[in-house]
Amino acid sequence: MTHEFLTPEDMRHAVAGQWLNEAVPSRVAPAGVAIDSREDLHAQCFIAIIGARTDGHLWLASAVEGGAAMLIVQADRRDAVDDAVAGSIPILLVADTRTALWQLGVAWRARLNAVVVGITGSAGKTTTRRLVQSICERHLEDLPAGAADGGCTASVKSYNNDIGVPLTILRARSNDRFLVLEIGTNAPGEIAALSLLAEPDIVVITNAGRAHLEGLGSLEGVAREKASILEGLSDDGLVVLPAASGPLQDEVLARLGANQTIQNFGESRGDLVLTSRRTIDSSGAQTVQCSDGFEARMHLPGAHNAQNALAAILVARALEIEETQIGLGLAELASDPMRFSGELIGDSGIMIYNDAYNANPDAVLAALTTFGELSSEASRRVLILGDMMELGDDATTLHAEIGRAVVELSRTIELSYVIFIGPLSSHGARAVLDAGADLMVVQLAALTDVLCEGVAGMIHSGDSVLIKGSRSQALERVVDSIRTVTGTLNSPDPQSV
């Protein structure tokens, strides 16, 4: 079923653009927006974004061949438009294509009637977004026939910046009931701007921890930036955040409007309290029970994910979704790849906990705790830890803290060895050695292909392995090497748990 979208003239007005070739008719009415020429561009308006790695103006002909309905091109790059392209499709000239994408997001957001949920935090925002999305989709699936008009659109991958958020808004259908947005930051002011674009009805702040300190300066700076998600919150909107949140709570209260409300979650106090959780198996599946008697099973492991679930439950209740549907939504969500996803490698008995998507100090500490809970039956336990980026002047201290946490973990469970990868992680390795822990430590300056194979060769049958590091290091390559070494690279049935 097609849905209403901005007309070409609506778009021209929104971006204050000019037609390069107004006389050329559109082959089909635009039904959405795209910035990647490799996508299905049928009936899409292709915006030629100039990025750090590529320039969309290089792919205008490909966009036309792919079925694009129209193009938005930067005026100072009009030379990229050849005669064949100019004669085949409407082209809108703008001062800046990145700004135009944002302006279109503003225009389309104004036409949406969906309830908008905005989710931010130093860790857990992607998981919480996925939990809320899963619950909303379960709710819509369970509605009686004819009553489920509309759907739920949510951020994909980690579309949480000045490109990803407007793109997600523009992906929303005109009749959607829910729009779930992940909102991120690297520098002061970014969350406030994205919130003003999104105009959320409900905001979730999962936490304000030690991430992006290089840009935000301090924990207080992080709390200030996260709390700025209230900038665009509706006048009667809801804020969901941890009960024990210190500076974050203060920053939120300073911004809270007269008719806006707060709901807290936590382990010991709050509007929703986690009273117990029980790990079911080595994959990390667990049951969570709340202070009001609500109980659910979820596939996501660890205490930190139980807290993410509490946040999602509060959002779902605010959306008046039934408890049964909330439980099903939580239970149906599987681990995201590289976010503490467990994989049993073929017949080797090697269990990999791949948490290599990204890393900050609090997330690494949570991963270590969860690994300790899940690896009790392993013959050996191995840690592969990479650098944590964007920590500024605190990088040395915080990497050393991770080293000390490894030592503490080794006192509760037996660790065979830990591999630190990257120049910053050397401070973690030094902290382990300085503590005199009875633990083999390997320090690698970087993870080359040869070293990746060497690391994989150190893993034995029956081992449990945690892999955690920043995105730039791509530590998931170790998993591929382990599969190769064990002969299961192309195994048709690796047990993914």
CATH number for the domain harbouring residue 271: 3.40.1190.10
**Mean pLDDT over residues 211-225, rounded?**
89
80, 118: one domain: no
Q: Is pLDDT at 321 greater than 90 in this prediction?
A: yes
Instruction: Provide the greatest CA pair distance for the chain.
Output: 77
Residue 446 lies in a domain: yes
Residue-level pLDDT at 147: 62
Arithmetic mean of pLDDT over the chain = 92
Residue-level pLDDT at 217: 85
Taking the model in full, what pTM does it have?
0.90
Gap between the Cα atoms of 281 and 299, Å rounded: 10
Over residues 91-120, the pLDDT tens digits come to 999 999 999 999 999 999 999 999 999 999
Alpha helix stretches (DSSP H) within 411-441: 426-434
Which of 285, 304, 332 is the last residue in one of the domains?
332
Over residues 392-438, the pLDDT tens digits come to 999 999 999 999 999 999 999 999 999 999 999 999 999 999 999 88
Q: Print the domain residue range for 478.
A: 341-496
Q: Is pLDDT at 495 greater than 60 in this prediction?
A: no
Quote the DSSP letter at residue 71.
E
Residue-level pLDDT at 346: 85
- Distance from the Cα of residue 293 to its chain's centroid: 30
Residue 162 lies in a domain: yes
Domain of residue 411, CATH code:
3.90.190.20
Q: Which of the residue ranges 139-143, 250-254, 429-433 would you say has the lowest mean pLDDT?
A: 139-143
Residue 259 lies in a domain: yes
Residue-level pLDDT at 146: 65
Residue 107 lies in a domain: no
Q: What percent of the chain has pLDDT over 70?
A: 96
349, 484: one domain: yes
Over residues 174-193, the pLDDT tens digits come to 999 999 999 999 889 999 99
Domain of residue 81, CATH code:
3.40.1390.10
81, 116: one domain: no
170, 298: one domain: yes
For residue 161, give the nearest of 187, 136, 131 by alpha carbon: 187
Residue 104 lies in a domain: no
139, 164: one domain: yes
Residue-level pLDDT at 209: 86
Residue 222 lies in a domain: yes
Cβ atoms of 211 and 225 within 8 Å: the answer is no
321, 346: one domain: no
Total domains, the chain: 3
181, 262: one domain: yes
Beta strands across the sheet bearing 70-74: 18-19, 91-94, 70-74, 44-47, 32-34
Residue-level pLDDT at 171: 97
244, 325: one domain: yes
121, 142: one domain: yes
Gap between the Cα atoms of 463 and 384, Å rounded: 13
Ramachandran category for residue 346: left, alpha or beta (phi over 0 → left; psi -120 to 50 → alpha): left
**CB neighbour burial string for 390-418, b if at least 16 within 10 angstroms, e if fewer:** ebeebbeebbbbbbebbbebbeeeebbeb
Residue 1 lies in a domain: no
Which of 272, 301, 332 is the last residue in one of the domains?
332
Residue-level pLDDT at 1: 43
Which of 42, 64, 97 is the last residue in one of the domains?
97
**Mean pLDDT over residues 483-493, rounded?**
61
Alpha helix stretches (DSSP H) within 383-475: 395-410, 426-434, 449-457
Residue 300 lies in a domain: yes
Over residues 283-318, the pLDDT tens digits come to 889 999 999 999 999 999 999 999 999 999 999 999
CA angle, 88 as apex, 86 and 89 as ends, to 5°? 80
